[in-house]
Amino acid sequence: MTANETHFCMCPNLDENLSAEDKTALGQTKGAILNGAKWNPGETIKIRFLGGDVSLQNRVKEVALEWTQFANLNLVFVQQAPTPIRIAFVQGRGSWSYLGTQCRQIKEPAPTMNYGWLTPSSSDEELRRVVLHEFGHALGLIHEHQNPQGGIKWNEAAVINDLSGPPNNWDEKKIRDNMFAKYAGVTATNVDSESIMLYPVPKSWTLPDESGNQFSSDTNSVLSDVDKNFIRDCYS
């Protein structure tokens, strides 16, 4: 499988969804940050579905709850509004989630998370990969390849060429914002090539570093040991 055959998650930008007045009130900076998007340890987070097949909803719920084995948080799925996390299944609109508590700034009943290619026929592996990833964002985790501790040396032309085509069809700004930009103000470990928060990165997308090493990663569909320990530390 080549990289441009893979659907990639895109983190939406609050800048595109808040008024200038709201941004001033929030002290919103251009980059979404983990430290500013954390929930309180022990907090109960209410979640509801905005549609979707019931069997698919149940599969999403079961996988999402895996995070609570390690994070001191309570994810409670309800049917009544209001809820800070609202999950849609709008096909063709990508899979994405706001980071952590950013969802509180998105007014009801707009979705704060979307699964744009999951269907009742999606494989268990694909569903686990996507749901664990998006709920990682919902708990405040950034994309691992945008970790400021990272040292990925990108072949930018190759990345732009692949992601500008199907199935993602991203423009160059979206590619740069979601691939090359680094977050500030985060608590971070060194880049984990097995993290659920990392895209699959083929060698064709990277260049050798000063030591001659070339970064790549496979498609991850389980929480890595670093994921588990890190989220436990964040919410202990």
Can you state the angle between helices 124-138 and 54-64, rounded to 10 degrees? 60
Question: Is the confidence at residue 154, as pLDDT, over 70?
Answer: yes
Question: Is the confidence at residue 17, as pLDDT, over 80?
Answer: no
Provide mean pLDDT across the span 171-192.
Answer: 82
Query: For domain 3-234, which CATH number applies: 3.40.50.300, 3.40.390.10, 1.10.10.10, 3.60.21.10?
Result: 3.40.390.10
Q: What is the pTM of this model?
A: 0.83
Indicate the residue type of 177. D
Give me 158's structure tokens: 């190759």
Provide the residue ranges of all domains of the chain, joining segments of one domain with +.
Answer: 3-234
Question: Is the confidence at residue 23, as pLDDT, over 70?
Answer: no
d(C-alpha 185, C-alpha 187), whole Å: 7
pLDDT for the residue numbered 69: 98
Tell me which residue has tokens 């299944």.
89
pLDDT for the residue numbered 34: 65
Question: Is the confidence at residue 7, as pLDDT, over 70?
Answer: no
Report which of residues 132 and 200 the model is more confident about.
132
Provide mean pLDDT across the span 226-231.
Answer: 91
In this structure, the dihedral spanned by the alpha carbons of residues 96, 100, 105 and 108, taken in order and rounded to 10 degrees, is: 60
Considering the chain, what percentage of its residues have pLDDT values greater than 90?
58
Provide mean pLDDT across the span 94-121.
Answer: 94
